[in-house]
Amino acid sequence: MRHPSFSIIPSLPGIMRVTAMLLPFCWSPFGWSATLPADLKWESNDTDPVYADPEAKRGGTFRDFISSFPLTLRKYGPDSNGGFAAYVRETNLPLLSTHPVTRNPIPMLANQWAFGADNKTLYFRINPKARWSDGQPVTADDWVFTLKMMRSKEINDPWYNNYYSTQISEVTKFDDHTLAITSGTEKSREDLLEALPFTPEPSHAIKLTANWVKEYNWKVLPVTGPYQIGELKKGKSVTFDRVKDWWGNDERYFQHRFNPDRIEIKVLRDQNIAWQHFLRGELDTFPLVMPNWWHDKSKTAEFEKGYIERLWFYNQTPQPPMGLYLNTADPLLSNLDVRLGIQHALALDKMIATLLRGDYQRLNTYGSGQGDFTNTDLKARPFDPALAREFFAKAGFTKTGPDGILRNDKGQPLSLSITYTTAEHAQRLTLLREEAKKAGLNLELNLMDASAGFKSMLEKKHQSAWMAWSGGRYPAYWEHFHKVNANKPQTNNIMNIDDDRISALVEQYDKAFDFGKKADLSRQIQQRLYELASFVPAYEVPYTRAGAWRWVRLPKVPATPQSDLLYWPLDGSNSGYSFGGLLWIDEAAKAQTRAAIKEGQTFPPVTITDTTYQQK
């Protein structure tokens, strides 16, 4: 199961800059093509270590689950940003990704690249083997079309419209297998590699119409990755089938990966019901990051008899900004003193020490683990009911009702609604609710279905949201903090931050060419967010844990430093790193295990703690 979650700057080979030159143009079916500069310094990478297991076996079905059926199969437009997006967006590959161990760029759809002299342009040579799943070749026209699509009003997606209009200046086709993508502003090479090698859409299979959102809501499109959506059972499951004779099978960084023939994603709306499916062998793996699942729930016969194995893996992934997001457009939360009071009214350290067994660590700012981009001078505000009451009093909440909750002169109780989408977090939030009463604050807990809850957040219908954004190698702020995204539906500024100072810093951050300056601006942005008090940082988890039936195999070093999941069957490039697809199904071990269960035989219990990449 893929959970919402989210930097370290990659080490990149030195590449010579090229001299700018005028580009004569010629006509192509998708527009004007240019003449390629002759003195580009082309780079590739076929020397970094491989990290999949040569012993991996192809075949079988990997069975996973999600908590709600997707509202659409589209990757863009209304309702496309729910939990299922993690799967569907990785059915297509980008031009490049990043090696999860060395942090060097590695080929995906492109096998060569070069930097332009303008500090804005990346040139790419598409791997001539690359094919869409319907057999059509991947060509530069697909990127030309995708830019047009992302800018179009037909997709009804303001975020992508804005990003591809401001951050991407143009796509230039030179021939079928050569293109350039130009940034809207000058950027460092690290930034260019992060922002420009975007994922294409199949230009031959999409027609942009006024009714595009509805027409393509359930349409299965050709893909460039190893899996394509196959069977779709509305409300019940989505199955991905491995692409027959996939073009990437023999490419260096794809070998021995993406091994199952099928990926079956069941819809199981309750975590406890999903757990029962797992114990019956109807799911292959189950996340055990949550302390009670690892320490308590996994004490079952299936684990004790060695049928299911446990794995605790320390990683080096950037930590997502997990916490409480306050909607500052809400009348109550528009008051800074109320927000400051809430910061001191939440007993997060107690929650970590008790319910979370001390396994997690308190998060101090908006994410962590991103080197100099993280403001380590900031410390999360501690639980202090007396101080919280002082702030609430400044906001006019000075009277105590018979229920112990503060009220203002109008008799309005001090009450905060928290929208959340993970039922397992109910106990955590209940603890916060009981402790918040000491500060005179009432918390109303609003559990929603994952798709509906996230939709509510994007439409800014929440008062506050308990959640985390996924993240990349270093922070992205524009979509979350810039005022242009405030007070609009279908944007990621769910705190509705409409602040000139932070918006100005975000603009400088996006334009900063020097990475030292960019890191300094990141720290300033986090400082300003701290002053706005609209985000209450909760916790971070420097590892991942899971249980798996003994027939699900991983390499000897089971994952990479950038693996935020152990059993992710797709590439992982949404994270910026190509870390996934390492698992395989051992059919012989599966038959052996099934027979042992039937005959009452057991295996030694297995719990593995892998510290290969643990940061000391």
Reported as type and span, the H/E element at residue 215 is helix 212-215
Q: State the CATH number of the domain containing residue 293.
A: 3.40.190.10
Q: pLDDT at position 474, please?
A: 85
- Are 118 and 181 in contact by the 8 Å Cβ rule? The answer is no
Task: State which of 179, 209, 239 marks the end of a domain.
Answer: 209
Q: Does residue 449 share a domain with residue 523?
A: yes
Q: Does residue 547 share a domain with residue 533?
A: no
Q: Does residue 505 share a domain with residue 594?
A: no
- Are 437 and 388 in contact by the 8 Å Cβ rule? The answer is no
- Are 270 and 255 in contact by the 8 Å Cβ rule? The answer is no
Reported as a single tens digit per residue, the pLDDT across 328-365 is 999 999 999 999 999 999 999 999 999 999 999 999 99
Reported as a single tens digit per residue, the pLDDT across 499-533 is 999 999 999 998 888 889 999 999 999 999 999 99
Does residue 586 surpass a pLDDT of 80?
A: yes
Can you say how many angstroms the Cα of residue 276 is from the centroid of all Cα atoms in its chain? 27
Task: State which of 522, 539, 556 marks the end of a domain.
Answer: 539
Widest pairwise Cα distance in the chain: 80
Q: Does residue 359 share a domain with residue 494?
A: yes
When divided into structural domains, the chain yields a total of 3
Task: State which of 539, 564, 590 marks the end of a domain.
Answer: 539
Angle between helices 336-345 and 385-394 (to 10 degrees): 170
Reported as a single tens digit per residue, the pLDDT across 118-134 is 999 999 999 999 999 99
Reported as a single tens digit per residue, the pLDDT across 222-268 is 999 999 999 999 999 999 999 999 999 999 999 999 999 999 999 99
Q: Does residue 249 share a domain with residue 174?
A: no
Torsion, Cα 535 464 422 219, to 10 degrees, reads -100
Residue 262 is assigned to a structural domain of this protein: yes
Q: Does residue 348 share a domain with residue 452?
A: yes
Q: Does residue 199 share a domain with residue 126?
A: yes
**DSSP states of 282-301:** SSSEEE--SHHIIIIIT-SH
Q: State the CATH number of the domain containing residue 141.
A: 3.90.76.10
Residue 275 is assigned to a structural domain of this protein: yes
Does residue 16 surpass a pLDDT of 80?
A: no
- Are 231 and 242 in contact by the 8 Å Cβ rule? The answer is no
Q: State the CATH number of the domain containing residue 496.
A: 3.10.105.10
Q: Does residue 481 share a domain with residue 374?
A: yes
Containing structural domain, residue 403: 323-539
Residue 438 is assigned to a structural domain of this protein: yes
Q: pLDDT at position 4, please?
A: 33
Q: Does residue 528 share a domain with residue 399?
A: yes
Residue 519 is assigned to a structural domain of this protein: yes
Q: pLDDT at position 47, please?
A: 98
Reported as a single tens digit per residue, the pLDDT across 539-584 is 999 999 999 999 999 999 999 999 999 999 999 998 889 999 999 9
Residue 364 is assigned to a structural domain of this protein: yes
Residue 600 is assigned to a structural domain of this protein: yes
Residue 12 is assigned to a structural domain of this protein: no
427 Cβ contact list (under 8 Å, min separation 6): 355
Q: Does residue 533 share a domain with residue 558?
A: no
Q: pLDDT at position 33, please?
A: 57
Nearest to 549 by CA among 323, 311, 346: 311
Residue 31 is assigned to a structural domain of this protein: no
Q: Does residue 582 share a domain with residue 478?
A: no
Reported as a single tens digit per residue, the pLDDT across 61-98 is 999 999 999 999 999 999 998 889 999 999 999 999 99
Q: Does residue 604 share a domain with residue 583?
A: yes
